Amino acid sequence: MILNNISFILVRPQLGENIGACARAIKNFEFNHLRIVNPKCNWPNEKAQITSVGAKDIINSVKVYSSVEKATDNSNLIVAMTSRIRKNNKKFIGFNELYTKIKKNKKICFLFGSESSGLNNEEISQANYVIKIPTNPKFASINLSHSVILICYEIYKKFSGKKFKFTSSYPSKLANKRSINAFINRLIKCLDEIGFLQPKHKRNSMLININNIFHRFELSQQELHILQGIFSNLINRNN
């Protein structure tokens, strides 16, 4: 499976909380491999465990390396993430071009730099390609875990092989038009009785607007029942 051939490598991460959030992010999208190069925080890290929430299995399987070279030695393709345009001979690619680089039997690593300074030029030099996530040019730096989850989402959306269709578990069926029209007619009758639909020459446009209000929405039977109850209570209080 393509997703299982992809690893996320955090280079010199400073905060255990961010490592935990990254673990949670990759598990959200069915990835499994998180590696760390020279963490600046203590490892193992209690805060990483806490912020990983349900992704403790990812944290517990993290592999720690002393260099980017060692962390990526079984990879076929390395992609470095950066928020800055560097003066080096590396090709910047977008997500559409990235998709063409991801193949079934290819092992791919994504490199993410430290929270304060990102990847240095030496680390980027080991990558095949560089990705810069499009952001506000006046505020381009993205939190480490946010950067990870954006990459996870893009790859998962393209290669998970799943078609996402979400349906609500709301129990009430849609109200039919006959029920809605019965409610509207009752409303109009009461509005006529209190003289609301005035002046007479505007009555027709007001009726059109009332119909538009209630027919615009796909009201459920339960919602219509609530409206009828509210309306009945207001009528009874005024009688």
Q: What pLDDT, on a 0 to 100 scale, did the predictor assign at position 84?
A: 82
Residue with the bigger pLDDT between 76 and 87: it is 76
Contact between 57 and 182 under an 8 Å Cβ cutoff? The reply is no
pLDDT greater than 90 at residue 89: no
* Cα→Cα distances 118→10, 36, 128, 143, Å: 10, 14, 17, 10
**DSSP state, 114?**
B
Contact between 118 and 83 under an 8 Å Cβ cutoff? The reply is yes
Residue 39 tokens, joined = 């963490």
Q: Which residue has the tokens 């505020």?
A: 139
Q: pTM of the predicted model, to two decimals? A: 0.78
**The three-state (H, E, C) secondary structure of 76-131, written as one string:** CEEEEECCCCCCCCCEECCHHHHHHHCCCCCCEEEEECECCCECCHHHHCCCCEEE
Q: How would residue 21 be classed by pLDDT, with cut points 50, 70 and 90?
A: very high
Burial group, residue 65, by CB count within 10 angstroms (0-12, 13-18, 19+) = middle
Closest CA to 212 of 184, 182, 175, 172: 184
User: What is the number of other CB atoms lying within 10 angstroms of the CB of residue 149?
Assistant: 20
Condensed to tens digits (0 to 9), the pLDDT of residues 204-213 reads 999 999 999 9
Residue 114 tokens, joined = 């430290």
Condensed to tens digits (0 to 9), the pLDDT of residues 114-160 reads 999 999 999 999 999 999 999 998 998 899 999 999 999 999 999 99
CATH of domain 2-159: 3.40.1280.10
Distance, in Å, from the CA atom of 8 to the CA atom of 39, rounded to the nearest integer, reads 14
**Mean pLDDT of all residues in 217-235:** 91
Helix (H, G, I), strand (E, B) or coil at 20: helix
Residues in Cβ contact with 180 at an 8 Å cutoff, skipping those fewer than 6 apart = 214, 215, 219, 224
Instruction: Express as a percent the part of the chain with pLDDT over 70.
Output: 99
Contact between 116 and 18 under an 8 Å Cβ cutoff? The reply is no
Contact between 227 and 217 under an 8 Å Cβ cutoff? The reply is no
